[in-house]
Chain A
Amino acid sequence: QKEVEQNSGPLSVPEGAIASLNCTYSDRGSQSFFWYRQYSGKSPELIMSIYSNGDKEDGRFTAQLNKASQYVSLLIRDSQPSDSATYLCAHWGETSGSRLTFGEGTQLTVNP
């Protein structure tokens, strides 16, 4: 089992729709969770971090964390073509030292 699994893409949504990106992780000791956005040919950009169960909202982005289910998600409301990118889920936990462990990413395309 991979440490971090993301829903397989690519994911395609129309402009203005809600894009839902999902991630599960295997390390029950995981404490911190991050979503990065990566445009093609560029480096990952941190867009959300979440540390406790529940929802965290930042503009059009909402991260949801359920530690009991070992599940974290990212919702993008009012999706824009500029949101088209690969979204990487990452976690940090006591068993992983100080490293972030990343999923393979989900490629999102927002169609005008």
Chain B
Amino acid sequence: DTGVSQNPRHKITKRGQNVTFRCDPISEHNRLYWYRQTLGQGPEFLTYFQNEAQLEKSRLLSDRFSAERPKGSFSTLEIQRTEQGDSAMYLCASSLGGVNEQFFGPGTRLTVL
């Protein structure tokens, strides 16, 4: 399978814990995006990488959220001190260069108790 992959697929955690998600983009894609989606809403942009450089972050992204893409391949998204409001589907997408067709992975569903 050469699509975008994400792990874990589901994560249940207690409020205050830290969680980390991983995304592996389509191999030749140099752009990687993180979105968050809650029930009944469209995906909401969080951050974007071109190769290893994080070029854009949403103003809505609190300081508890951090993302990395150290070698320009896979990316991780960490949420520190999780809150119940962080419960959502976290989606990763990738695209090739200037072509803006973004392809999504299966997502990681986070539940914060």
Chain A: residues with CB nearer than 8 A to chain B? 4, 32, 34, 36, 42-46, 49, 88, 90, 92, 97-105
Contacts and interface: CB of A to CB of B under 8 A. Distances in A.
Given A43-B91, A44-B91, A100 B103 contact: no
B42 A46 contact: no
Contacts, number: 60
B105 interface: yes
Contacts of B55: 97-98
A97 B64 CA distance: 23
B42 A98 contact: no
DSSP majority for the A interface? Answer: strand
B43 interface: yes
Interface residues of B, number: 25
Given A49-B101, A98-B55, A99-B48, A44 B33 contact: no
A49 B89 CA distance: 24
7 closest A-B pairs by beta carbon, nearest first, are A102-B42, A99-B45, A43-B104, A43-B107, A92-B100, A97-B56, A32-B100
A34 B31 CA distance: 17
B58 to A, nearest CB: 8
Contacts of B43: 44, 88, 100, 102
Contacts of B105: 43
Contacts of A90: 42
A58 to B, nearest CB: 13
B104 A98 contact: no
Contacts of A44: 43, 91, 104
